């Protein structure tokens, strides 16, 4: 395997970050308030995220003005591995940090970076992603939410669904159709829509995991006026922004799947199924890590990220199903923890076996379904005809 960087540099980077965590990590008593959705960030978590930002440990690959220190890809991996090892959730507004702020840093204007990206990174505001619609889930090109430009204002009408954390978010990054006459993949644009704008209605609803698991939202947009300055990227280039957004989500997403597999190795050791099942779980974990490290090398096809997402998400789902079935009726107990509690982590990852299995479907759907990943792999990795 290609050596990605001088080991001593990565080791020194990891050691410095570990010392920072040892000195700065919030105590358990301080973190008593828990997050209620993927855009609800408790005050203690906001302070912690700002501390990471101010010391360059939030997004190390970014320059200092955006919460980083111009770290190399192997150093960024070491940063995330150290967080995972300590069971520290990177951000309680994961879409805001990993997708929306990252997209603004890539496609936004300098004013948008200052006005929106930095406050999201500093956890001063939170953000949600408005992509899916009732008839445009994985097929973003089918979206119907329409934005008509009238002078310097877009007038937006339509509906979004499955919008995680929208009821707690301050702003939506919404994908809208600005040219209904253009081909399906054209004429889409990206808009930043403050959630307190007149005409924006957010309705949270429970999930399969629990009736009181209020993260998903319906979002209704009726005659919503959005200034043109909130357009992210060029008019009609929303498809490119969307692909970039999902690219940010997918790049190191495999590491979260590796963490979930490690959790299952630890928590499901008594699940039965013999040596074959346990060996498969361990091999899936090792294969995912090796392929993930290989993908950080120069010259790798970005489409190979789809291999990591497909392998990681389906391995987690298969192993979670095995644990659910092995524990029988006890797997349905709720609420309950099936793994150790860590105050810096998201306890959904160690909830009941039913909930852990139910939540695994997010991995095979969000960020591009397994079916979409297989198409990408077939066409762009294997070179098969469409």
Active-site annotation, residues:
249
From CA 32, how far away is CA 25, in angstroms rounded? 14
Per-residue burial over 95-128, b if 16 or more Cβ lie within 10 Å, else e, is bbbbbbbbbbbbbbeeebbebbbbbbbbbebbbb
End-to-end CA distance of the chain: 32
From CA 194, how far away is CA 356, in angstroms rounded? 33
Distances in Å between the Cα of 13 and the Cα atoms of 21, 249, 255 are 13, 24, 19
Task: Supply angle C-alpha 282, 340, 45, rounded to 5.
Answer: 110
Distances in Å between the Cα of 236 and the Cα atoms of 20, 194, 217, 319 are 44, 21, 26, 42
β-strands 127-130, 171-177: how paired? Answer: parallel
Distances in Å between the Cα of 386 and the Cα atoms of 184, 374, 377, 378, 382 are 18, 12, 11, 8, 11
Overall residue count recorded for the chain in this entry:
386
């Amino acid at each position: 395997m290609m050596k990605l960087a001088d080991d001593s540099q990565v080791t020194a980077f990891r050691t410095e970050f570990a010392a920072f965590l040892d000195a700065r990590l919030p105590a358990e008593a301080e973190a008593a308030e828990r997050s209620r959705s993927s855009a609800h960030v408790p005050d203690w978590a906001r302070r912690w995220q700002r501390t990471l930002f101010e010391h360059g440990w939030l997004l190390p690959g970014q320059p200092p003005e955006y919460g980083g220190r111009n770290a190399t890809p192997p150093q960024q991996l070491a940063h995330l591995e150290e967080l995972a090892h300590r069971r520290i959730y990177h951000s309680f507004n994961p879409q805001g940090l990993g997708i929306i702020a990252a997209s603004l840093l890539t496609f936004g204007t300098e004013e948008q970076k200052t006005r929106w990206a930095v406050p999201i990174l500093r956890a001063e505001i939170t953000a949600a992603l408005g992509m899916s619609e009732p008839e445009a889930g994985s097929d973003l090109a089918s979206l119907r939410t329409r934005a008509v430009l009238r002078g310097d204002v877009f007038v937006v009408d339509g509906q979004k669904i499955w919008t995680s954390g929208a009821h707690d978010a301050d702003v939506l990054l919404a994908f809208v159709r600005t040219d209904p006459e253009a081909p399906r993949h054209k004429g889409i644009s990206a808009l930043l829509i403050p959630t307190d704008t007149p005409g924006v209605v957010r309705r949270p609803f429970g999930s399969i995991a629990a009736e009181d698991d209020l993260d998903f939202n319906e979002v209704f947009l009726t005659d919503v006026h959005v200034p043109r300055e909130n357009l992210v990227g060029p008019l009609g280039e929303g498809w490119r922004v969307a692909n970039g957004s999902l690219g940010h989500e997918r790049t190191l997403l495999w590491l979260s799947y590796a963490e979930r597999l490690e959790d299952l190795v630890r928590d499901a050791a008594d699940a039965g199924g013999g040596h074959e099942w346990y060996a498969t779980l361990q091999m899936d974990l090792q294969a995912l890590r090796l392929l993930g490290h290989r993908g950080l090398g120069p010259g790798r096809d970005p489409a190979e990220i789809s291999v990591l997402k497909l392998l990681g998400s389906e391995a987690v789902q298969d192993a979670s199903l095995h644990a659910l079935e092995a524990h029988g009726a006890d797997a349905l107990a709720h609420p309950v923890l099936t793994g150790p509690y860590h105050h810096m982590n998201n306890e959904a990852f160690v909830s009941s076996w039913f909930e852990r299995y139910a939540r695994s479907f997010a991995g095979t759907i969000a960020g591009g379904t397994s079916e979409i990943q297989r198409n990408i792999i077939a066409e762009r990795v294997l070179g098969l005809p469409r």
